[in-house]
Amino acid sequence: MKKLALAGTALAVLFGGSAMAADLAVRPPPPVYRPVPVVVPIFTWTGCYVGGNGGGVWVDKDYTLTTAAVGLVGYGPFVPVGSGLGSHTASGGIGGLQAGCNYQAGGFVVGIQGDYDWMSASASHTDPFLVGTSLSSTSKSLASVTGRVGYAWDRFLGYVKAGGAWEKDDYTIVGPPAFLAADGVTVIPFGTATASETRGGWTVGVGAEYAFTNWLTGFVEYDYYGFGTKTVNFVAPAAPFGFANIDIKENKNVVKVGLNVKFGPGFGW
């Protein structure tokens, strides 16, 4: 009996171990957990922005006499109407603010931008007809609203722009304290004549912009401004009825660099 019991126990152990081994053989391996891949967002120029800029400006002024009273700088008695009164180029610094919005489709980017800049560009020249008389100008501010069209290579954007522009200038004509009238006897007081104007024009430009981060971009830009010819009225308070109307033709060249803070898709650090 003992032998039979031992044999039965051995058989039970044998078959039980085989069953357990079979269970282990078919059991699936534990799952392997891998980290979720990080999705890197593609940069887009779509969005709006605000920023600041600074640079240099060159202003060309060309003067032509149109009408004059006898009392102003001797233009009436001594200088024929239609005479060129000379020209000068004023240069100085420029700085201001800009804001706009862009939309990107594929590599193409379209947008609209407005900017306003303060500047101080002054110059003068000597009148070619009247000894001791100088004509000077000071450009004070410049603004524009433009459309932009460009193409982007990821974070680099090249663009052209065009639109309307506005500017403000002050003028001064300084002559001797007095002039001798055409009769050779009458002394006409003069001193200083002044004028100021705000005029509209157009602008075209070209630039390049680079996105340092998803929210900060920097640009460099060249702009040409055409303001045409406008008649400016000069008045000399010291001279009775002293005035002159002078046609002044003007254009500006501007080079500036700046930074923009971008809002929209991908905004953030």
Q: Does the global pTM surpass 0.75? A: yes
Angstrom distances, CA of residue 24 to CA of 29, 30, 222: 10, 13, 77
- Residue 16: the pLDDT is 54
146 and 174 Cβ atoms separated by less than 8 Å: no
Q: Is 57 exposed, middle or buried (0-12, 13-18, 19+ CB in 10 A)?
A: buried
Model confidence pLDDT, tens digit, residues 68-102: 654 455 565 667 788 899 999 999 999 999 999 99
Domain boundaries, the chain: 47-263
How does residue 14 score in pLDDT terms, banded at 50, 70 and 90?
A: very low
- Could you report the per-residue pLDDT of 102-154, keeping only the tens digit for each? 999 999 999 999 999 999 999 999 988 877 789 999 999 999 999 999 999 99
Rounded percentage of the chain residues whose pLDDT exceeds 70: 71
Which of 82, 60, 85, 79 lies closest to 182 in space, CA to CA? 79
What does the alpha-carbon distance between residue 218 and residue 257 come to, in Å, rounded to a whole number?
7
Which residue, 204, 207, 219, 220, is CA-closest to 252? Answer: 204
Q: Quick one: pLDDT band at residue 40, thresholds 50, 70, 90?
A: low
Mean pLDDT rounded to a whole number for the chain = 83
- Mark residue 106 as left, alpha or beta (left: phi above 0; alpha: psi -120 to 50; beta: remaining): left
Q: How confident is the model at residue 269 (pLDDT cuts 50, 70, 90)?
A: very low
Choose which CATH entry (3.40.50.2300, 2.40.160.20, 3.40.800.20, 2.60.40.1250) describes domain 47-263.
Answer: 2.40.160.20
Residues 6+ apart with CB under 8 A from 69: 76, 241, 242, 243, 244
Q: Which residues, 6 or more positions from 80, have their beta carbon under 8 angstroms from its beta carbon?
A: 65
Q: Parallel, antiparallel, or unpaired: how do β-strands 47-68 and 108-126 relate?
A: unpaired
Quote the tokens at residue 101: 């919005």
